[in-house]
């Protein structure tokens, strides 16, 4: 993807089986910049993209259930970015690897997930709702977080 003079790097780190790279939380300023509503909008776009993606089988088949799932994810990411503990209050401790264990998440599924996320981020980039540094920090978190969720070779 070409961002002109942008310094954003949306490359996807190669997955290495058995290696869990260290995770660095995104800059809290990303949430401050886009606001909680902006995060919820981001996840609505993202989950609606997933609803049409090659990995839609991993998610609820009903559109309204998919939207709810997106808002639970928004709760998690709001919390990860330093916002209120909405996820803990509604679902308990994140334990994301355990929560994803019932679903067959492959390295290929991870790639689809990340590409769909990059597409969902485009309005934030295009409207300059956050700095490139903060967007990059968020992407870097997604890149590593997604590696941790892989639980199947194929």
Which of 9-18, 34-43, 98-107 is most confident? 34-43
Residue 47 to residue 44: CA distance in whole angstroms: 5
- pLDDT digit string, tens, across residues 79-94: 999 999 997 777 776 6
Q: Which two tokens stand for residue 53?
A: 């993606």
CA atoms of 21 and 49, how far apart (whole Å):
27
Residue 101 per-residue DSSP state:
T
How far is it, in rounded angstroms, from Cα 40 to Cα 22? Answer: 26
pLDDT score for 154? 76
Q: What is the CATH number of domain 28-149?
A: 1.10.490.10
Q: How far apart are CA 23 and CA 5, in angstroms?
A: 28
C-alpha torsion sign, points 122, 72, 30, 145: negative
With contact defined as beta carbons under 8 Å apart, do 77 and 87 qualify?
no
Q: Assess whether pLDDT exceeds 90 at residue 26.
A: yes
pLDDT of 87 reads 76
pTM: 0.91
Each residue of 95-118: pLDDT tens digit?
A: 666 777 778 899 999 999 999 999
Instruction: Give the pLDDT of residue 58.
Output: 93
Tell me how far apart the terminal alpha carbons of the chain are, to the nearest angstrom.
Answer: 27
- The strand ranges marked E within 3-154 are none
Say what the pLDDT of residue 3 is: 43
> Hey, where are the domains in the chain?
28-149
**134 to 5, 25, 141: CA distances (angstroms):** 16, 11, 11
């Amino acid at each position: 993807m070409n961002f002109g003079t942008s310094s954003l790097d949306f490359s996807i780190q190669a997955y290495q089986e058995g290696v869990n790279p260290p995770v660095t939380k995104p800059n809290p300023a990303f949430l401050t910049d886009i606001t909680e509503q902006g995060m919820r909008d981001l996840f609505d776009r993202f989950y609606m993209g997933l609803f049409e993606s090659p990995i839609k089988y991993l998610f609820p088949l009903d559109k309204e259930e998919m939207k709810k799932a997106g808002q639970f994810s928004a709760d998690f990411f709001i919390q990860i970015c330093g916002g209120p503990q909405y996820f803990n209050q509604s679902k308990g401790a994140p334990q994301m690897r355990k929560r994803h264990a019932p679903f067959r998440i492959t390295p290929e599924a991870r790639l689809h997930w990340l590409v769909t996320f990059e597409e969902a981020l485009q309005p934030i980039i295009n409207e300059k709702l956050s700095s490139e540094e903060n967007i990059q920090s968020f992407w870097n978190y997604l890149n590593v977080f997604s590696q941790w969720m892989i639980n199947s070779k194929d």
